[in-house]
Structure 1
Amino acid sequence: MTSARPRSAQQAPPVGSSSTGYVTFVVLLSFLAWALVSMDNVMLGVAVPALAPALHLSLSTIEYLIGAFSFVTFAAPVLAGRLIDRIGRRANFQLSLVGTGIFGGLTALVANAWQFIVVRLLVSTSYGLTEPVINTLVAEEAPRHRRGVLMGLVQAGYPLGAGVAGTIAAVLLPAYGWRPLFYLAFAPLLLVLVAGWFLRDSARFKQVKAATTHRAVEHKPGWRKLFTPEQAVAVDMVHLGRAEGVAERDPVSRTRRAKTCVNPPRRLSAPAPGTQAGKARAPQRRRAPVR
């Protein structure tokens, strides 16, 4: 007799079962997101010579800050993994691009060093959330026999974005300065709108989410159910099992139980009526008086 579980918790849908058109859309969207995130990261590096005097910082100080931002980006994927499994691929994809687009664009408006540090810390955190989610999206939607090729194509967006950023910086920096470079960092917000309309969570994520919810409901009942008669019986059985387990582990209890089994207590049996002891123990009947 099988347990009554939801269909999603019994069998997992095959990974990479989406249509070809939707897989193409996911790969293209992830490619563009990775390229735009890369552009913002590279623009920060090429703008350092112009940023330092504008923020009244030395070149060595601003280089130390960029190194600190990189460590933040290194630690962010640990948080991203939890968010991807908790809130979903689609929501995490949008969240990472919103942070990268808004705070990356606000870099063009900073007026001092503290504003620059706060804004770039937020950008670095959002940037670290992007790579895990796009890898998860492509891995779950791509067909098995093309998964490696499509994931490699998405990763190619990073050097492409770096090349485009360097080219744009070579044109804009001499003529307009460093601020117009970061206005381009608002571009990921356009992908957020596209993802909101067309991107969806994978079937694999929905199946895992349904199974997790089912286990949480089944094994963690509400507080009202703790006072039902069925729950009281279950609690008594648990305590009884624990007591028996403690008795099994107790060496004194085991020794006493073994002695009882080897030398059981003798029971005193009643003597047979025909024996001398039986006659002595037999109740004496009173004889009727002779009249």
Structure 2
Amino acid sequence: MNPRTIDVQQFLDDHRFSAFQWAILVLCFFVVAVDGLDTAAMGFIAPSLVSEWSVTKAALAPVMSAALFGLAIGALTAGPLADKYGRKKVIVASALIFGLASLSSAACWSLWSLTGFRFLTGLGLGAAMPNTVTLMSEYAPRGRRALLSTLMFCGFTLGSASSGFVASHIIPAYGWRSLLVVGGVLPIILVVFLAIILPESVRFLVCKGAPADRVAKILRRICAKTDFTNIAFTVPEDIGAQSESSIKALFRHDNTTGTLLLWITYFMGLVVVYLLTGWLPTLMKEAGVPMAQAAVVTGMFMFGSTFGTVLMGWLMDRINNHLVMGVSYAAAALCVVAIGIHPGEVALLRVLVFAAGFAMGAQTSMVILAAQFYQTQYRATGVSWMLGIGRFGGILGASMGGVLMTLGWDFRTIFFGLAVPAVLAAVAIGLKGIYYAHRPTALPVGPATVAELEMH
């Protein structure tokens, strides 16, 4: 007797979003939240390092960018590993790595030791983020994929924003090392829950030819009433493409243009994010604003980004994704210019920085756009390589602040210049939308791909 077939994506679409899927979302949310907290930490630690270790701002550039180099390398390597060995294994391992490395950073004794530990922290951070996004997108129904993935990814912006508020309370009381201790303990605790509760992606398991019983065991946690007797599972893609190199696939099947434009957009967006969040506290302190207030103003960027990201996720399930992104990046450019015009007005800066973060919610939503663009067999690679290449934009932004200040650039000039990469991001994502407007997909068409392709 021939087995019945179940398309796992259609199964997810036909059933309500279960408590089990909510648990996946919450766990991934906490992974990216501690990721965001730790990533933003150096921006709040930098002023204390300048005072305690008597170093120049330019000397902090390697420390500020070390984790970003690690993030880039971690992302570039983790995607292919996750497409080969599974999303869960990479997520658990990466959370453990960045937790232990962050704790080690708190015990460092010099700029170079801190630089080394921050690089190791970045390796773990860079591996975690793209795979949580990939896993969540592969457990979400099509019609709610952008919104649910965006809600999960809001953990990053909330974690980054929380870093500012936590820093403003614990650094004055316990010193800068305390923030790194918090950023190390939380992911280590989280690893236990990830190992026990988090499942592997069912789409990944089907693509890898896992036993039907293993897939059925996971899907029963979504709908226990379904009869999985004599079942064969399929995905809405051509599984035969899985033997292809996941990295090469990013530049085949008409993917090349989309891949490059995704990279450019994310790169430019991170220049904005990391220069603003990494150096705004120091810039404001030099303008005479107390450090506690500067940290709160900077935290408003990430809170704004959280609300903006949720709205964009909602819009992306309803209207053209590229239009949403393009308009958001253009609005961010205007907000950055407005910030530059009002360097010392703390109350107004809170509003403007919140608005800039709201508009830059597009940056967070880019991972959703990438996850929808690529096929299951190389989705983790596509998302992680966009994040990895983009991290070099973060490195540039994190390094530029100290260099530009050393060259004598003032608050206004720096923020006027920061509008340029925001405009370039808007142009790049707009061009991607135009290029693929009359191309239904960049993916190889398999026998069951039509419904999936309509989502692109």
TM range (shorter): 0.5 to 0.7
Relative to the length of structure 2, the TM-score reads: 0.42
Where does 1:66-81 land on structure 2 (aligned, <5 Å)?
Answer: 66-81=64-79
Query: C-alpha root-mean-square deviation of aligned residues, in Å?
Result: 2.6
Deviation >6 Å, runs of 4+: none
- Contact 1:16 1:140 (C-alpha < 8 Å) held by counterparts: no
- Contact 1:31 1:154 (C-alpha < 8 Å) held by counterparts: yes
Residue 54 of structure 1: how far off its partner (Å): 4.1
Relative to the length of structure 1, the TM-score reads: 0.65
- Contact 1:57 1:113 (C-alpha < 8 Å) held by counterparts: no
Query: Match for 1:13 among 8, 11, 16?
Result: 8
Matches of 2:147 and 2:194 in 1, distance apart?
23
- Contact 2:66 2:118 (C-alpha < 8 Å) held by counterparts: no
Matches of 1:203 and 1:108 in 2, distance apart?
38
Amino acid at match of 1:128: G
2:202 maps to what in 1?
203
Residue 69 of structure 1: how far off its partner (Å): 3.3
Bigger Cα displacement from structure 2, 91-100 vs 51-60: 51-60
Residue 65 of structure 1: how far off its partner (Å): 3.3
1:175 maps to what in 2?
173
Is 1:85 the equivalent of 2:83?
A: yes
- Contact 1:15 1:204 (C-alpha < 8 Å) held by counterparts: no
Query: Residues 16-58 of structure 1: CA distance to partner in whole angstroms, max 9, x if unpaired?
Result: 6386111101111111111111111111210011124545642
Aligned CA distance change for structure 1 residues 178 and 99 (closer, same or farther; 3 Å): same
Gapped regions of structure 1 (runs ≥ 5): 216-291
1:156 maps to what in 2?
154
Amino acid at match of 1:200: P
Aligned pair count reads: 207
Matches of 1:56 and 1:99 in 2, distance apart?
30
Residue 15 of structure 1: how far off its partner (Å): 6.1
- Contact 1:89 1:137 (C-alpha < 8 Å) held by counterparts: yes
Residue 188 of structure 1: how far off its partner (Å): 0.8
Choose between structure 1 and 2 for higher RCO, CA contacts under 8 A separated by at least 6 residues.
Answer: 1
What's the secondary structure of 1:187's corresponding residue? helix
Aligned CA distance change for structure 1 residues 89 and 15 (closer, same or farther; 3 Å): farther
Matches of 1:190 and 1:67 in 2, distance apart?
27
Matches of 1:181 and 1:81 in 2, distance apart?
29
- Contact 2:96 2:191 (C-alpha < 8 Å) held by counterparts: yes
Query: Residues 225-265 of structure 1: CA distance to partner in whole angstroms, max 9, x if unpaired?
Result: xxxxxxxxxxxxxxxxxxxxxxxxxxxxxxxxxxxxxxxxx
Query: Match for 2:102 among 85, 101, 104?
Result: 104
Query: Match for 2:59 among 61, 77, 82?
Result: 61
Matches of 1:15 and 1:118 in 2, distance apart?
46
Aligned CA distance change for structure 1 residues 178 and 65 (closer, same or farther; 3 Å): closer
- Contact 2:103 2:180 (C-alpha < 8 Å) held by counterparts: yes
Matches of 1:166 and 1:65 in 2, distance apart?
18
- Contact 2:68 2:119 (C-alpha < 8 Å) held by counterparts: no
What's the secondary structure of 1:210's corresponding residue? coil
Is 1:190 the equivalent of 2:189?
A: yes
1:250 maps to what in 2?
none
Residue 173 of structure 1: how far off its partner (Å): 1.4
Matches of 1:133 and 1:81 in 2, distance apart?
7
- Contact 1:12 1:207 (C-alpha < 8 Å) held by counterparts: no
Amino acid at match of 1:180: S
Where does 1:205-284 land on structure 2 (aligned, <5 Å)?
Answer: 205-210=204-209
Residue 122 of structure 1: how far off its partner (Å): 0.7
2:45 maps to what in 1?
47
Matches of 2:61 and 2:193 in 1, distance apart?
35
- Contact 1:56 1:113 (C-alpha < 8 Å) held by counterparts: no
* Identical-pair percentage: 26
Matches of 1:105 and 1:15 in 2, distance apart?
43
Residue 63 of structure 1: how far off its partner (Å): 2.5
Residue 175 of structure 1: how far off its partner (Å): 1.8
- Contact 2:67 2:119 (C-alpha < 8 Å) held by counterparts: yes
1:124 maps to what in 2?
122
Matches of 1:142 and 1:201 in 2, distance apart?
14
Residue 61 of structure 1: how far off its partner (Å): 1.3
Residue 68 of structure 1: how far off its partner (Å): 4.5
Matches of 2:137 and 2:10 in 1, distance apart?
8
Larger radius of gyration: 1
Matches of 1:175 and 1:87 in 2, distance apart?
44
2:404 maps to what in 1?
none
- Contact 1:35 1:160 (C-alpha < 8 Å) held by counterparts: yes
Aligned CA distance change for structure 1 residues 55 and 174 (closer, same or farther; 3 Å): same
Matches of 2:201 and 2:179 in 1, distance apart?
35
Matches of 2:120 and 2:134 in 1, distance apart?
22
- Contact 1:13 1:203 (C-alpha < 8 Å) held by counterparts: yes
Amino acid at match of 1:14: Q
Where does 1:132-151 land on structure 2 (aligned, <5 Å)?
Answer: 132-151=130-149
